[in-house]
Amino acid sequence: MAPAEFTCEQCGVVFQGRRGRREYGPYWFCSRACWYVWRRAQPAGKWTTYSRSKRLFDLTGLACERCGVPAQVRHHRDEHPTNNAPDNVAFLCRACHARHHLLTTHCERGHEWTPENTYVHPKTGKRQCRACRRMRRRGLV
């Protein structure tokens, strides 16, 4: 497949590249540096789920739904951080949020958190259910 010609959105340079390389949405850039300069000029909150979520759910003046102290964290009830539906987001203080995640006894599919069934990711420290990991690898989930 022959390389296609694209025009950089930031600097206007015509460059050759493979389809899918340096594409950010419908835009093309000759380098990561050009993308970064262009991205910094865009309105805040336009490109990331986190910034959109942060804008939608300003924590100023909100109280923790469990204990009533000022809320510091947005908790996603279905455990999917990209689902920012208002009924899926709970406002909690850090202590209640940590307590919620540490006191669960079963994963979201109902497998018990036992030492034999719990995998702790070495880089993130996040725990994962071994039974669910096996199911994902086999394509059952």
Cβ neighbours around 129 below 10 Å, total = 21
For residues 9 and 29, the answer to whether their CB atoms sit within 8 Å is yes
Gap between the Cα atoms of 23 and 105, Å rounded: 43
Identity (one letter) of the amino acid at 5? Answer: E
pLDDT at residue 97 tops 50: yes
Identify the pLDDT of residue 56. 55
Query: What is the value of pTM for the model shown?
Result: 0.43
Identify the pLDDT of residue 46. 47
The sign of the dihedral angle between the CA atoms of 42, 48, 51, 57 is positive
* pLDDT band, very low/low/confident/very high, at 62 (cuts 50, 70, 90): confident
pLDDT at residue 104 tops 90: no
Residue-range domain boundaries for the chain: 4-40, 49-103, 106-141
Identify the pLDDT of residue 47. 47
* pLDDT band, very low/low/confident/very high, at 22 (cuts 50, 70, 90): very low
Top pLDDT among 88 and 40 is at 88
The sign of the dihedral angle between the CA atoms of 24, 29, 34, 38 is negative
